[in-house]
Chain A
Amino acid sequence: MFSLIIKQIVNRGKSNFWLGFELLLVFCLVWYIVDYLFVLSYNYRIPSHLNVENVYRIDIQTLPEAHPEYSVIENDSMNLMENFYRVVNRIKQHPEIEAFAVSFNQSYPGAGSYNGRQYRYPQDSSKFVQTQSFLIAPLGDYFQVFRHMGKDGRNVFSMEDHEWNDPNEIIISKMVEDLFFPEESALGKIILPVKGIEGEEYKVKGVIGDIKRFDSHRPAPVSFSVKRIDAENVRNTEISVRFKRKLNSVELTSFKQEMFRELRIGNYFLKNIVSYRKIVDDFNLAEGTIIMSRTHISLMFFFLLNILLCVMGTFWYRVNSRRAEIGVRRAMGATKEKVRHMFVAEGLIILTVIMIPAVLIEAQFVYAGLIHTVGYTDITAGFYLPDYQMLRFVLTNLITWFLIAFVILLSIWYPAYLAGRITPVEALRDE
């Protein structure tokens, strides 16, 4: 049976040429996309150890001087601070609020700006790691608001446990711990900044689970430090709150209206309340990978559709022009299934043969370094599958084979069904 099909394929060389050529092109292109999506979905599966559901950012601002209610007295540093604490207390005391936090310079998930801070390796002080730095005020509980997990990835990390208000104490993510202290715990250890004043050093106060800046990327090292609020930096703060439960839009609007009234203290007024779900989603969308992946998926559908049409049309003609042969075969006792299987096997064998040159072409692209790894960083601690080039290559090729095989099955089904229906009498009469 097998050698017979091979013989058939060779004999129909010319008509198989176009089919094979098309399959070869599409195999390479689909592989490229599968590889892209493979890395992407692997990245998406890596957890980010925090949660932004039911978390909102409360934007407050001070009135401009032009405003009729603007008061010069309220703008001195003491009143500015006192009123700020009043604002925070009113928010904190609202019965729907579970936790609140105050941070500086966009230190929250989905923030557009990136503040970097570099720390030296304890083993080798000439090397350093760049961390994304979050600056937090010692008010409320930041980690409770965003439900940051501890390094075990199970329990919510809490700042209150640690009584954390020393600017020289920092909290790092698990990745930094793994890089700096591979075999031991980082708690209580000292690390040094790259650019700092003489004698500046930081003590590790806690380790949290790894977080990702973009959903589509790998986790990256982060560090948290603490800074007290004063009249100078109070303008650069942002207030985040976690609600006890999910509010519907009506409840949210009434909360907003209440806050518009409540937070009109001194020169402060409420500007807006924004959900972190939206902030994070917009941030991910703006980064571009989501649109890239949609484009890739549409292209993949397009290529597979081409295969579908090409294979379907070619085999439909093939069935028609081989009616006599099929008739003879049926007359000699081949069952409907056997005739069908013959066509299906023919398609799959062509695909498998095509895979050999396809893999060779793909390998050229890999060697030339043209294959992009989404969210690639050279700092990785721990296991990351897409970095194993060979394994990834084999896996993505297998996935591609199955994808195209599925499409071939789908497209041969109808012509093969027609072939199976040919009765010996009918076909032989044509002769």
Chain B
Amino acid sequence: MIKLYFKQAWMLMKQNRFYSFIYIVGTGLSISMVMVLAIVFYVRIADTYPENNRSRMLIVKNARVRVPDNYFSSSLSLKTVETCFYSLEKAEAVSAVYEVWENQFFIQSLRNREQIPVKLKCVDSGFWKVFSFKFREGAPFTEEDMESGIKTVVITETLSRQVFGHKETVGEYLSVNFVPYRICGVVKDVPFLSSHAYANIWMPYTAYPDLETWWKSWSNDTEPLGNFVCYILSPSVQMLSQVRSEAVENIHKYDASSDRIEFDVFDQPDSQWQFLLRSHDPYTYNFRKLLLIYGIIFFILLFIPAVSLTGLTDSQMEVRLAEMGVRRSFGASRSILMKQVIIENLLYTLLGGVTGLFISYVIVWGARQWIFYIGSSFLELSPENIDMFSPLSLINYKVLIIAFLICLIFNLMAAVIPAWRFSSREIVESLNAK
């Protein structure tokens, strides 16, 4: 029966080329808008290189210390990470990453006198377990390197080529702010939007000059604060909540250990999607409100084209009213007719969906330099010639399923009302339509 409906719909489509064209393109365009939004979120939330474990990762980035009549906000100090997170028993791996401010580090190239600005991250050995880097050459620095503060770095392929040309670079020395560091590994470039792992040079934080002196010089009360962000990897997605509650417990204990200061991490650890929503405003976040706002935006983006397509379906139904009358007078029930209209419409929607997916890929690729920043202000710009994300990661079954679901919702929105209205007309009236 369904096959017959599709056949009929196909014939109908060939008959009304202009209408079909408008309907399919319209569906495509309307779905593409929502798809673009979905892709924007997908790229930032789904597991992708080298953040292949985003779904079982927890993040603590913002912290606040309250002292009588004052407070300070920043990221975490190493001591906080050590007491609260390194000690987690249920976690598979924990990593502390020191966020270095921009424009602090330059590499001195031997080939010309120019200083190459780099994005540096100071990390620990757990970093290479939390994130899954692909090593082109060499390996991460070892725990022993880490403990004894050996000056050693991991760099990206591109940086390696830029500084040394094409030869093998493991074992070479790299001048970072005029201090030589031994290269122990070369990794595949990291897309900019994998922002937790993104950098082009990583060193053990024990090898970093003047770690944390700035905060220490500020005040004794700010001991829990520093520039570290902490990543906690849970052994599995199911274990996430257990790991989280262990971390929360440790934070409470840490807070209770001092009477003078109050230490607060604003309900973190966050999962990746919470981290993303929080980035708008770390301290007065309201996940429910933000989800509602995004929900409304998604709804409007689907609803507007659905209404316009409902108008179209409606006009088309009016022309086909006589056909409906004949079908009903030969015994077709209302539900059968409704089913037919919805299935017919699904064909249009699927064709439109394919068009829409294509259009949305084109839009995302064309606007890749800015579209991922939607909604944020005072953003960190990507350096030139850096991939924002790897385009291949978008072509997988998950994206297709998302697209199909959106099509389905959209189809229901656009077809149900006309189908219901026209199948409920009196038979006589319908037959009389022509």
Contacts and interface: CB of A to CB of B under 8 A. Distances in A.
A343 B167 CA distance: 72
The 9 closest A-B pairs by CB, nearest first: A310-B308, A288-B377, A18-B311, A317-B315, A313-B312, A309-B26, A67-B178, A22-B307, A260-B113
A318 B179 CA distance: 77
Interface stretch (B65-73, B129-137, B368-376): B368-376
Interface in B8-66: 18-19, 22-23, 25-26, 29-30, 33
Contacts of A287: 377-378
A151 to B, nearest CB: 31
B25 A309 contact: yes
A294 interface: yes
Contacts of B300: 29
Interface in B307-332: 307-312, 314-316, 318-319
A314 B305 CA distance: 14
A305 B177 contact: no
A40 to B, nearest CB: 14
Chain A interface, DSSP helix/strand/loop, else mixed: helix
30 contacts: A15-B311, A15-B314, A15-B315, A18-B314, A19-B311, A63-B178, A66-B178, A260-B114, A272-B115, A272-B117, A286-B379, A286-B381, A287-B377, A288-B378, A295-B374, A302-B30, A305-B29, A306-B29, A306-B305, A307-B308, A310-B26, A313-B22, A313-B312, A313-B315, A314-B311, A316-B22, A317-B312, A318-B315, A320-B319, A321-B318
A303 B307 CA distance: 12
Given A67-B178, A302-B29, A306-B30, A317 B373 contact: no
B29 to A, nearest CB: 6
B5 interface: no
A260 B108 CA distance: 13
B304 interface: yes
Interface string B355-399: 000000000000100100110111111000000000000000000
Contacts of B23: 313
A198 to B, nearest CB: 26
Given A286-B379, A309-B26, 9 more contacts: A15-B318, A289-B377, A303-B304, A313-B22, A313-B23, A314-B315, A316-B22, A320-B319, A321-B318
Given A63-B178, A317-B315, A294 B307 contact: no
A102 interface: no
Given A63-B178, A306-B26, A288 B376 contact: yes
Contact of B311 (A22, A256, A294): A22
Q: Could you say which of B29, B301, B311, B377 has the most chain A C-beta atoms within 10 Å of its C-beta?
A: B311
In the complex, which range does the number of interface residues on chain A fall in? 35 or more
Contact of B307 (A21, A286, A320): A21
Nearest to B316: A317
Nearest to B113: A260
Contacts of B378: 286-288
Interface of A: 14-15, 18-19, 21-22, 25-26, 29, 63-64, 66-67, 256-257, 260, 271-272, 282, 285-291, 294-295, 299, 302-303, 305-307, 309-310, 312-314, 316-318, 320-321
A26 B303 CA distance: 11
B314 to A, nearest CB: 6
B106 interface: yes
Nearest to A315: B315
Q: Could you say which of A29, A66, A257 has the most chain B C-beta atoms within 10 Å of its C-beta?
A: A66
B18 A306 contact: no
Contacts of A317: 19, 312, 315-316, 318-319
A99 B342 CA distance: 72
Contacts of B315: 15, 313-314, 317-318, 321
B381 to A, nearest CB: 5
Contacts of B114: 256, 260
Nearest to A285: B381
Interface string B114-142: 11010000000000000000000000000
B381 A312 contact: no
A304 to B, nearest CB: 11
Contacts of A307: 308
Nearest to B108: A67
A314 B26 CA distance: 13
A365 to B, nearest CB: 14
A228 to B, nearest CB: 27
Contact of B304 (A26, A260, A285, A321): A26
